C-alpha cells in the first residue's frame, strides 16, 4: 500500500505469508528486526496488530503462535483488494450528504483506503447492481447509503449484500439488519417534540415527503409518538402531512411546488389550531423554504423547524433545525468497516450518533 506505515506493511506481509502457508512457525522479534531492518518498537506494533486481528497469539516466555492458518476470507468470499472500499450512495445535496461524502473520503484516506464511489440516484435496481459490481471487482468492504426501502426484494441484492463486510449509513435495508451507523433519530425527534410540547405546541403539523419510507423516518415518527404519549397527549389525525416534493433539479421544479404550497396554506392559514410546523425530511425543507417565502406574512404566528438543510440559508429562511453530525457518522462508519474487514471484534455493529440542535429563533412559545 503506497502510504501505509511500515508496521502495517510488515503485519500485512506476515499475514500474507501465513495465509499462503509460506510461514509455518512464527519468527522471533529478533529475527523480524533483522529481516525487516526496523526497530523493536516497529515490530511490536506489527505484532500488536496481528494479535488484535487474531492472526497470532503470544504468551510471555512461550513465544508467538500462529492461530489463523487459513485465508482470512470464509469459503465463497471473493478475492479482495484490501486497499479499496466501495461506497454506494442513494444521493446527496448540501442539505444532507455532501458533508458525509467529503468526510468519508477524508477518514478513508486516513485509514489508507481508496474509495470507489457509485451513486444509485434512488434506484434500487442500480444499487443492487453496483453492490454486485463492486464486490465482483474486489473491494475489501462496502459502505452503503441505501435507497428508499424496496417494494420487492431484489435477487441481485439478496445474493450479494453479505458477501463482503458492509456498513450501512443512515438507513437500514429492510430484513437484512446489517451493521449501521446513523443519527439517533428516535431520541432527536422525541427530545425535540417534548420541547415543543413544553412550550405549548400541542398542535404541530408533521410534514413528510410522499414516498419516503426508510428506517430513519420511522425512528423519527416513533420518537414523536412516544413524546406525545409521555405527555399523555394524542396527535390529531390531520397533523400528519405528506407532500409531493419534486427533486430540486427536476425540470418543473417551481411549478410542481405550487400544489404542495397550496396544501401547506390550507393546513396553516385556514386552520388556526396549528401553532407549529415541523419538516421531518431534509427535502421537505426545500418546500418549506419556498412555502415560508410566500406565506410568511400570513403565518408569522407559526413556529417552524425541521431536520437538516443547506448551510447557506438567508435570514428569511433561517429556522431551528436538527443538524446531523455527518463528520462523526463518516468517522464511525469507516472505523467500523475497517474493523470488520480486519476481523477485529467490535462491541456493537449499531452505532448511533447524536445530532446538534441549531436554534435560529424560529420557534416561540404559544
Q: Which of residues 60-119 bind its own copies (CB under 8 A)?
A: 83-84, 92-94, 98-99, 102, 105-106, 109, 114-119
User: Which phi and psi angles does 75 have, rounded to 5°?
Assistant: -55, 140
- Per CB under 8 A, the list member of 47, 268, 299, 317 interacting with its own copies is 317
Q: Is residue 293 part of the contact set for its own copies (CB under 8 A)?
A: yes
Closer residue to its own copies in complex, CB, 337/351: 337
| C-alpha 141, offset from chain centre | 15
> What is the closest distance, in whole angstroms, from the C-beta atom of residue 36 to its own copies in the complex?
21
Q: Is residue 310 part of the contact set for its own copies (CB under 8 A)?
A: yes
- Per CB under 8 A, the list member of 133, 149, 213, 242 interacting with its own copies is 133
Q: Is residue 31 part of the contact set for its own copies (CB under 8 A)?
A: no
Closer residue to its own copies in complex, CB, 114/240: 114
**Separation CA 38–CA 10 (nearest Å):** 10
Closer residue to its own copies in complex, CB, 90/227: 90
Q: Is 349 helix (H, G, I), strand (E, B) or coil?
A: coil
Closer residue to its own copies in complex, CB, 38/116: 116
**Separation CA 179–CA 190 (nearest Å):** 24
Partnered with residue 353 across adjacent β-strands are: 183
- Where does this chain touch its own copies (CB under 8 A) — which range of 22-30, 50-58, 130-138, 351-359? 130-138
Residue 274 · residue 263 · CB < 8 Å? no
Sign of the torsion angle spanned by Cα atoms 214, 217, 223, 228: negative
DSSP string, 140-159: EEEEEEPPSPPSS--HHHHH
Q: Is residue 324 part of the contact set for its own copies (CB under 8 A)?
A: no
Residue 363 · residue 304 · CB < 8 Å? yes
> What is the closest distance, in whole angstroms, from the C-beta atom of residue 260 to its own copies in the complex?
13
Q: Is residue 30 part of the contact set for its own copies (CB under 8 A)?
A: no
> What is the closest distance, in whole angstroms, from the C-beta atom of residue 51 to its own copies in the complex?
29
Closer residue to its own copies in complex, CB, 316/345: 316
Strands 166-169 and 139-145: parallel
Site string for its own copies, 159-198 (x = CB under 8 A): ----------------------------------------
Residue 135 · residue 142 · CB < 8 Å? yes
Q: Give the cell for residue 351.
A: 452505532
Per-residue buried b or exposed e for 333-342, using 16+ beta carbons within 10 Å of the residue's own CB: bbbbbbbbbb
Q: Give the cell for residue 164.
A: 463482503
> What is the closest distance, in whole angstroms, from the C-beta atom of residue 99 to its own copies in the complex?
7
Angle at alpha carbon of residue 231, lines to 229 and 237, rounded to 5° = 55
**Separation CA 130–CA 136 (nearest Å):** 10
**Separation CA 88–CA 86 (nearest Å):** 7
Contacts with its own copies by CB under 8 A: the residue count is 39
Burial class (CB in 10 A: 0-12, 13-18, 19+), 7: buried
> What is the closest distance, in whole angstroms, from the C-beta atom of residue 155 to its own copies in the complex?
17
> What is the closest distance, in whole angstroms, from the C-beta atom of residue 82 to its own copies in the complex?
12
Closer residue to its own copies in complex, CB, 9/102: 102
Q: Which residues bind its own copies (CB under 8 A)?
A: 2-3, 83-84, 92-94, 98-99, 102, 105-106, 109, 114-119, 121, 133-134, 136-137, 248-249, 253, 286, 289-290, 293-294, 310-312, 314-317
Amino acid at each position: 500500500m503506497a502510504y501505509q506505515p511500515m508496521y502495517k506493511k510488515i503485519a500485512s506481509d506476515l499475514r500474507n505469508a501465513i495465509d499462503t502457508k509460506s510461514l509455518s512457525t512464527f519468527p522471533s522479534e529478533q529475527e523480524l528486526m533483522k529481516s525487516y531492518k526496523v526497530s523493536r518498537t516497529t515490530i511490536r506494533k506489527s505484532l500488536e496488530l496481528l494479535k488484535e486481528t487474531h492472526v497470532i497469539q503470544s504468551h510471555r516466555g512461550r513465544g508467538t503462535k500462529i492461530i489463523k492458518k487459513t485465508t482470512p476470507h470464509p469459503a465463497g468470499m471473493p478475492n479482495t483488494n484490501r486497499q479499496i472500499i466501495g461506497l454506494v450512495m442513494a444521493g446527496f445535496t448540501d442539505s444532507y450528504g455532501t458533508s458525509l461524502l467529503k468526510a468519508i473520503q477524508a477518514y478513508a484516506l486516513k485509514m489508507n483506503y481508496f474509495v470507489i464511489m457509485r451513486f444509485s440516484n434512488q434506484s434500487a435496481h442500480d444499487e443492487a447492481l453496483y453492490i454486485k459490481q463492486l464486490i465482483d471487482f474486489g473491494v475489501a468492504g462496502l459502505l452503503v447509503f441505501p435507497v428508499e426501502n424496496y417494494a420487492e426484494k431484489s435477487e441481485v441484492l439478496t445474493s450479494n449484500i453479505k458477501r463482503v463486510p458492509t456498513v450501512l449509513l443512515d438507513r437500514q435495508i429492510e430484513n437484512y439488519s446489517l451493521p449501521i451507523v446513523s443519527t439517533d433519530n428516535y431520541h432527536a425527534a422525541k427530545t425535540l417534540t417534548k420541547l415543543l410540547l413544553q412550550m405549548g405546541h400541542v398542535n404541530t403539523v408533521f410534514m413528510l415527503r410522499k414516498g419516503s419510507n426508510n428506517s430513519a423516518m420511522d425512528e423519527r415518527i416513533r420518537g414523536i409518538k412516544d413524546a406525545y404519549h409521555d405527555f399523555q397527549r394524542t396527535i390529531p389525525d390531520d397533523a400528519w402531512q405528506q407532500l409531493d416534493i419534486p427533486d430540486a433539479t427536476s425540470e418543473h421544479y417551481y411549478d410542481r411546488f405550487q400544489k404542495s404550497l397550496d396544501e401547506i396554506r390550507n393546513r396553516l392559514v385556514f386552520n388556526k389550531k396549528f401553532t407549529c410546523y415541523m419538516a421531518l425530511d431534509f427535502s421537505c425543507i426545500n418546500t418549506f423554504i419556498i412555502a415560508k417565502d410566500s406565506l410568511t406574512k400570513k403565518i408569522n404566528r407559526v413556529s417552524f423547524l425541521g431536520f437538516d438543510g443547506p448551510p447557506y440559508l438567508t435570514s428569511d429562511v433561517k429556522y431551528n433545525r436538527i443538524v446531523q453530525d455527518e463528520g462523526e457518522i463518516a468517522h464511525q462508519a469507516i472505523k467500523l468497516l475497517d474493523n470488520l474487514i480486519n476481523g477485529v471484534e467490535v462491541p456493537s455493529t449499531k452505532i448511533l450518533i447524536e445530532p446538534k440542535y441549531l436554534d435560529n429563533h424560529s420557534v416561540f412559545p404559544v
